[in-house]
Amino acid sequence: MFVLTALGVFPGEKPKRPDRTKLGLGYASSRSLNFVCVFIGLMLFLIACVSRPISSSDRSADKSLIDKEAARELSDALESNLVNDDRTAMRSKLERRFRNTVDWRQFNEMVDQINETYGRTLAFEFKQEESGQEIYDNGKTKQLCKFWYAIRTTKFQQGSHFSIVEVVPEDNGLAVSSFSTVSFPSGLPQNLK
């Protein structure tokens, strides 16, 4: 109910066009709206946290800072898995809590929806790295490295869409806490050009 209200459809009100709902400046099909709702729900479930910049006091208090080189290697490997559509390797890089909660069918459906919406990733180029902290719904925190890539897909040219991969520590290694594809319809930020 909240999502539909936030998108401009109120209880008891019919969309202005058959099988279409106003979304932002244009119209999105109900299939797109379903994807948006599933994607938002997935991200809330998968991440169940927020990122914030690491302050200098956080750095001194946390002795388990991420090895950024190893995190970048893991992130690059996930991007390569996306290019090769190697879902077994992709899933193996994700946090255990995700793998334990989301079965193979659900995982494949999520990847299929990303590919259907944005096209399958064909190439990627590293753009920038950010550091922060992942704060989970249970209050637990982990250090975070976020990597941005300009991607080319079967539907979009290089640099119009971006892949984001977030890496966190897990056990004695690293794991991907989330990955997503985004675009900037109002124009690219300077740091991504």
Assess whether pLDDT exceeds 90 at residue 7.
Answer: no
> When comparing pLDDT for 23 and 11, which is higher?
11
Pairing relationship of beta strands 161-170 and 141-153 according to DSSP bridges: antiparallel
Segments of the chain assigned to CATH 3.10.450.590:
49-192
Give the mean pLDDT of 174-193: 90
Predicted structure pTM score: 0.68
Residue 14 has pLDDT above 80, yes or no: no
pLDDT in tens, 31-78: 554 554 455 544 444 444 444 444 333 433 344 579 999 999 999 999
Taking only the tens place, the pLDDT of each residue in 154-171 is 999 998 999 999 999 999
Domain 49-192 class in CATH: alpha beta
Residue 193: the pLDDT is 81
**The predicted structure's pLDDT at residue 40:** 52
Average the pLDDT over 100-124 and give the result: 95
Statement: residue 99 has pLDDT above 50: yes
